[in-house]
Amino acid sequence: MQPELLMLRHIARPDKQIILPPVVLSENIPYTSDGMYLFPENVEIMIGEKFYPLDRGLIVISPNAEDFHLAHEYRHHWQWMNGWEFDGPGEWQQRKTYKKSIIDYFMGSRSEMDAHLFSLPYIKKDFPLQWQEWLIKERERREGWIDRY
């Protein structure tokens, strides 16, 4: 069994009622370098030179992706299966700075922020924790917490 599928089963363990989507490894992921979730549809998609049905959704991740990327994309599947309306910002937009891009991307979308927070326990590298620090400080700045102290 694929290690990615085993990890997905571990991540999804509390959600036994949810049918898991297939996981595909690909280096050619549009708009991002680490992963994407494709919502269930009655169509097929070609990745590489192979067709995959989207009837259960599909998680596509880079072969170099960390576990937290898989958890993030699974959370989008969980959101779909639980009736959330996806409010993601669409494709990645490079803003003035990398930090500003991260802040705008996650703070501009309830579903992206939820997926980010869900994936935090699976982090093995520091950069997502740096993102979290930026997001907390931005929230404090927007709500005026910083000015109060």
Contacts of 42 (CB under 8 A, 6+ apart): 54, 55
User: What is the residue type of 3?
Assistant: P
pTM of the model: 0.83
Buried-exposed string 39-55: b where 16+ CB fall within 10 A, e elsewhere: ebeeeeeebeeeebebe
What DSSP character marks residue 55? B
Q: Which of 119, 130, 28, 129 is nearest to 66 (CA)?
A: 119
Strand pairing report for 35-38 and 58-61: antiparallel
Q: What is the pLDDT along the chain (149 residues), one digit of tens a residue?
A: 467 777 888 888 888 888 899 999 888 776 666 888 999 999 999 888 889 999 999 999 988 888 888 999 999 999 999 999 888 775 566 657 888 888 888 888 899 999 988 998 888 877 778 888 899 888 888 887 655 54
